[in-house]
Amino acid sequence: MIVTMVYQHSRRLKLDYQRVRLVGLFLLGAVLVGAITTVYADAFGSSHVGDVYNQRTARLLASRAGELHANHVGSSVPPGTASHKAASSTTNGVVTSSALQAMTKSESCNPSAAPNPALASAQSPELRKLAQYEQLCNGAFTNRISFFTTTPTSVAGAQSVAASIAAQLKEFASFGISPLIFMEPNDDNGNSISLTSLQDGTYDNALNTYFTSLKADGISDATMGMWVYLPEGDIPVWSTTDPSVYSAIVVKLIQMQKKYFPSSKASLLLDSESYAPGAGWGNGNFVSFLPYVSHIPAGLVDSFGLQGFPWAPAANVRGQDTLYSPSAYLRIDFAAQAARALGTSSIWFNTGTFHSMYASTPSQTVIDSPAQRQTMLNGVISLATSLKAQGFSVAIHIFAQNKAGTDEDTDWSYWNTTPGDEPDSGVLTTFIHNASTNDVPIWLFDSTDK
């Protein structure tokens, strides 16, 4: 099984960095112009005009009509120094360093039940990792974790993969854990398959065999969990971002799933930053999801997933701001619009915070402080409660795997070796506690496999 992260930072960040190097002289001039413009803007009462010289912020400004209010705006810093300084105001949900000093590894997660020590011996790496989280929380805190699978392209392959997935689903059920399954459009060799071929029925025999095999292996509607097909279908990680292709594929696959498992669950996952067909990395926009969901029959989808993650330029890059405001990278306005169009009142976020980015290159490494991570997670909870006030049920799926040393080279985790042995662990337990207090379920992706 090829396990890849839902959010494809590696391609996006590498492209952004290469672009910056190629246009370094331009950026230098832009910074000078920006400084002059800022003086001019301050004189006339505008505090955001200078932001247009940041490439990513400029796209945000264009899509939000100049209403971006990002936290922690500023350049990155080299490793070994204090990273982006968190603001001290508590009225905006910003966590101070003094508040973090009170956190310990015994910080309550509001566990719902005692930990299950048998998780540590599970076959599934995601369940084994969950055992460490329960150790951190002194108890159980979630009943939904996620894993990835491929798309079957042959009858024989479908039978083989279905046998493996059925065993995994049964093991999850034995621990009372409901899975969130991301079916990525990759074959068993890790190659991206043609979405046009997936749409036109080339793999229909394999897919029908896959679902019938799961049923024959004893999987029920209840043990199927929740499935997400073509995750991040609006960003250029797969062969096309065409909304019509996306909607046709997810309708086909969800209808197949529910033909065999009528009361099982299915969801969508779209990134806050959508890319028009043919657009390359760096050319996305924060726009309505309606082109992707308007042709999906109302009632077919059980929930809508919204993806968004913070971002920072490399430490040796100047002239680009961080993207640290959850309200900027998680567009709940578009999520609510999409959910209503789909006829669902359930929304979930796929998000996280990073400990380090560009982790394997010291000259580029950016390290976020525990205070910064806590501030962003507080902001995510605020967005969830805002949607709840609009009548939606909301959950937060946290991506927390250490991907340093991979192509992505970002550490999303909250400890290195032992749960609770560093301040970032306190960030996570406090987040879980605060989410529980606000009646927002936490889902999780992490694995003992890297």
Alpha carbon distance 91, 155 (integer Å): 57
Q: Is 154 helix (H, G, I), strand (E, B) or coil?
A: coil
21: left (phi over 0), alpha (psi -120 to 50) or beta: alpha
Q: Which residues of the chain have pLDDT under 70?
A: 1-107, 450
Q: What residues does 356 pair with on adjacent strands?
A: 367, 411
Residues 283, 285, 288, CA angle at the centre, nearest 5°?
Answer: 150
Residues 3, 328, 373, CA angle at the centre, nearest 5°?
Answer: 65
The whole-angstrom distance between residue 86's C-alpha and the CA centroid of its chain comes to 23
Q: Which domains does the chain have, with CATH numbers?
A: 9-27+74-445 (3.20.20.80)
As a whole-number percent, the residues of the chain with pLDDT over 70 amount to 76
Structure-derived torsion over alpha carbons of residues 420, 436, 8, 363, reported in degrees to the nearest 10: -40
Residue with tokens 């205070």: 371
Residue 89: how many CB atoms within 10 A of its CB?
9
Question: What pLDDT sits at residue 85?
Answer: 28
Contact at 8 Å (CB) between 266 and 302? Answer: yes
Question: What pLDDT sits at residue 111?
Answer: 86
Which tokens hold the place of 218?
């004893």
The sign of the dihedral angle between the CA atoms of 25, 28, 29, 30 is positive
Question: What pLDDT sits at residue 81?
Answer: 29
Report which secondary-structure segment, H or E, holds 204: helix 204-216
Question: What pLDDT sits at residue 450?
Answer: 67
Report which secondary-structure segment, H or E, holds 432: helix 423-437
Give the contacts of 45 (CB within 8 A, at least 6 positions apart): none
Alpha carbon distance 411, 403 (integer Å): 5
For the full predicted model, state whether its pTM sits above 0.85: no
Residue with tokens 């899975």: 179
Question: What pLDDT sits at residue 134?
Answer: 96
